[in-house]
Structure 1
């Protein structure tokens, strides 16, 4: 098997002849991991083709051994072969797509489950399995299948899914059935008490609404559920209605997800934010996610105040935050307003000497 991919032609041809004569079912099942690994070489496709021919005659019971293999490539190869040979029905394919841990196998089986001929009476169970999957791509396949299965009414429940892909598929199914997804989102957002269980409805409104819908999102910035607040900030950014002055208080939000979305919304206008106010967000008394957000905005803002914050965080108790601060120091460059020979800059650079070394420090100065 190994010499069938040899670079010397006589060796390669002789090995391939022997492989044709000796590769039987037992050898193929045992050597599948090696054959697929050698198949990655420039001349390794011969072995893979031989493996396909032998396993093409294997029974379903024989392939089960490879379907349970710990080798990821073997499982993917075998599932592709099983799908081509139509060894599984729609329900089995949907169950594998919903429960398997490999995303390639999930996509392969989900696609195959939807392409099985419509004569089978297993649409309901198969779609239910796809809709229960954790993987968004598998759930989106299930949502799309609702139309073919005659279960369009169930698509409305996925308009507020946590995945943007699933929400988009649900809007397509609802639209094909004559429904109005935008009206559904607006109704949800006007009833804040109902959003606790469906925070995806907030960002869903931004995805298919218009800038006038921002009026429904601003009140949700103070919603008691953190996921709703984060979705409201993300929605305002999506609608291009992020007002820096009104969003600034969200940088002190107790939920890290809200602060992350706020930082993304404020980054385009970071230079307009008060430097002293941002510097206070990096104080050691602030929660970690607030310090991270303040550093990101100061890094985008630039100037000596950004260097001051980054050097101050080099001694932060959080390892990852110290790493971020060090990267910020290494990226720092003086702005056009910097004073030549500024003593504070020299002192801050001296405190970061361990990051760049003495020679690089002299050049930076």
Structure 2
């Protein structure tokens, strides 16, 4: 890659917009390939070369908000940018500029990615001479540097910055420190951040614990729970309102543990009514520990499987026959999905016929639960379940497809193809799933049909399956697994050629060429 200053004729606003687009693309795992990072590196270095300090500060702020992008930029620049046999004059000027009285912060950030440890050490020194929060992510990266001199200087500087002004530098250091914690020399920054959190004022902990990433919030909350800085009311509020499952479960466990120790049954009952299954399960376990099994046993029909299991244990303790309860529920006038699921979890195959009557229930949730229950009990009657493949409810179609897939070979041969050309998305998906265990030629034909489906999700799945099949068929023969072969008649081969030509724009040139070669070999 050759670096030239670039951006001639472009305004700062245009370059800033291009930078924001490149940074956003680099944050997405699916798009953050080498070309994406190369483009971002080119833009950043172009800003440095043009000496646009205002734009440089804006670019540095945007980079500092994305620690993953900073880490990828650091890796790419060191492996590619600084390894050119003849470095371009802008790169040379960038390194030489580190000795000036006033240094561009973006230039310092890029110099910290240099392959030469002496240059990285000078960049770290410049960061510490004029510390800025936007440079802290780059400084954190250097605390795990493989050169001891660079590493020691960066670690000492980071420790001093966090100790002197945690409110300014802790939010900037924490995301990158958590990102590099798993690296071989990355533990120092995470330990330093943890130590700073322990000694930081509550307002600082609250700031990084409410506005940061999920990892930051988890670290702060785990620390507050471990240090017992939260009241039980705060824990209950977090258990009821938190969207992150780890924080919510931790809050519920701490609140219920405190409630069990102090005998505060109202708190346990309040959390047992939570809409979150994990919170309900923790609260009901607490009620069991304080000796309230009869109350817990009333949750036999809960929608959550873990809660039902806890309730069945409570029912056993109080002498309630859970299976008899479920039999009465599924044969009664108003069965619930939880009761149907509980029945299939407790009953044997001999009790399975009780679910057949629910396959025509007016509620779609009951029909879907009945099909799932029959599948779990290994008692699927294909004749009864087959009509549900065209059920009005997508959830029922999905469950019926899953139940019939193991016996797809016994179904009418034309049924999956009729579903694959249906008007509803769930029907086409069902037909394709039923063909998933068919021979290679059948699966290829179905995938080619799906590749041009109007639904984006189905089309993506069809393209992926075609790609997988043709790439497997084009590999060398030294593989241990046999190559897929097309055992087709002349008419079937002609049909595949027509479908391949129709799907070629969706598949792309590479896959289409491989498919054409495979079909030629199979003619």
1:31-50 correspondence to structure 2 within 5 Å? 31-39=170-178, 40=180, 41-50=183-192
Structure 1 stretch displaced more, 15-24 or 72-81: 15-24
Structure 2 equivalent of residue 361 of structure 1: 516
Distance in structure 1 (CA, Å) of the matches to 2:424 and 2:322: 38
Structure 2 equivalent of residue 301 of structure 1: 438
Q: TM-score, normalised by structure 1?
A: 0.85
Unmatched 5+ stretches in structure 1 = none
Instruction: Write out per-residue CA displacement over residues 160-214 of structure 1, whole angstroms, 9 at most, x where no aligned residue.
Output: 22222222222223333333222211110111x322xx21211211111111120
Unmatched 5+ stretches in structure 2 = 1-138, 474-482
Cα deviation, residue 224, structure 1: 0.3
2:197 aligns with one of 55, 68, 74: 55
Instruction: Write out per-residue CA displacement over residues 232-272 of structure 1, whole angstroms, 9 at most, x where no aligned residue.
Output: 00000000101222211111111111111111111111111
Cα deviation, residue 312, structure 1: 4.4
Distance in structure 2 (CA, Å) of the matches to 1:239 and 1:209: 8
Structure 2 equivalent of residue 321 of structure 1: 458
Helix, strand or coil: the match of 2:437? Answer: helix
1:231 aligns with one of 355, 364, 369: 369
Instruction: Write out per-residue CA displacement over residues 134-163 of structure 1, whole angstroms, 9 at most, x where no aligned residue.
Output: 3x3222212222212444344344322222
1:23 aligns with one of 136, 139, 162: 162
CA contact (8 A) 1:97 1:138 kept: yes
Distance in structure 1 (CA, Å) of the matches to 2:459 and 2:190: 49
Structure 1 stretch displaced more, 242-251 or 76-85: 242-251
Distance in structure 2 (CA, Å) of the matches to 1:283 and 1:311: 12
1:260 aligns with one of 398, 407, 413: 398
Structure 1 equivalent of residue 500 of structure 2: 352
Distance 1:33 1:172, change over 3 A: farther
Instruction: Write out per-residue CA displacement over residues 60-119 of structure 1, whole angstroms, 9 at most, x where no aligned residue.
Output: 455323332233222111111101111123342232122111122112222222333744
2:255 aligns with one of 89, 96, 113: 113
Helix, strand or coil: the match of 1:300? Answer: coil
Structure 2 equivalent of residue 216 of structure 1: 354
Cα RMSD over matched residues? Answer: 3.0
Structure ID, larger Rg: 2
Distance in structure 2 (CA, Å) of the matches to 1:49 and 1:4: 12
- How many matched pairs? 359
Distance in structure 1 (CA, Å) of the matches to 2:408 and 2:328: 34
Structure 2 equivalent of residue 176 of structure 1: 317
Structure 1 stretch displaced more, 13-22 or 202-211: 13-22
Distance 1:184 1:359, change over 3 A: closer
